[in-house]
Amino acid sequence: MRLVLMGPPGAGKGTQAKFVSEALNIPHISTGEIFRKNVTEGTELGVKAKEYMDKGEYVPDEVTNSMVAARLAEPDAKNGFLLDGYPRTLPQVSELDAILDGLDTKLDNCVEITANTDEVVQRLLKRAELEGRPDDTEEVIRNRMVVYARETEPLAAVYEEHGILLKVDGMGEVDEVTQRLLAALGH
């Protein structure tokens, strides 16, 4: 199965992707996590990405697209994957289509996790206390929400037009949301 998981910051993409990728036995590919790993390791990619991430802005498409193309070419992604947080812009949608065309395959579904804004802000502020992620300050969270609404929310309509959009309510307990997600995917 080839899946995309989208939703606003704090909707639970990363949390749910872990359970869903395990249940479906496909690799979980999170662009945010790959960037954070590069930031921690101080790579050239990490230095470039940090500039944008710390402000809650998107890393430029050309940087993100080539990173995803390389990751999807790895053998474990051959029979399926769960992309968490990619694509987030229209050029990324086109790039993903081109990558999959090149591999003679296509996406099965895009799952949009929906959640109430007050709830997601509370989740991220709580994570800030527990983990201290640099982009979980109130100001940066607000900007991440604005950028999501402007750049990424409109992509749901694109996937709806392709007939592959599934909307899943992300409110409630983590395991309730997982059950809803798996049911929406027919599992």
The b-or-e profile of 132-161 (16+ CB within 10 A means b, else e) is eeebbbeebbeebbebbeebbeebbeebee
Q: Of 28, 177, 180, 181, which one interacts with ligand AP5 (CB under 6 A)? A: 177
Residues 103 and 105: their CA atoms lie apart, in Å, by 5
- Say how many C-beta atoms besides its own lie within 10 A of residue 32's C-beta: 19
Decide if 150 is catalytic. no
Among 21, 38, 64, 109, binds ligand AP5 (CB under 6 A): 64
Tokens 């392709």 correspond to 162
The nearer residue to ligand AP5, 104 or 150, going by C-beta atoms, is: 150
- C-beta separation of 165 from 112 below 8 A: yes
Rounded Cα–Cα distance for residues 155 and 144 (Å): 16
Among the listed ranges 38-46, 69-77, 153-161, 170-178, the one in contact with ligand AP5 (CB under 6 A) is 170-178
Task: Say which of 2, 71, 88, 180 is annotated catalytic.
Answer: 88
Q: Which residues pair with 112 in a beta bridge?
A: 6, 167
5-13, 19-27, 101-109, 156-164 -> range binding ligand AP5 (CB under 6 A): 5-13
State yes or no: residue 180 binds ligand AP5 (CB under 6 A): no
26 or 50, CB closer to ligand AP5?
50
Rg (CA), the chain: 16
Q: Which residues contact 163 (CB under 8 A, 6 or more apart)?
A: none
The mark string for 94-123 relative to ligand AP5 (x by CB under 6 A, - otherwise) is -----------------------------x
Residues that bind ligand AP5 in the complex, under the rule CB under 6 A: 7, 9-15, 31-32, 35, 52-53, 56-59, 64, 85-86, 88, 92, 123-124, 127, 135, 144, 173-174, 177
Catalytic site positions: 13, 88, 127, 133, 144
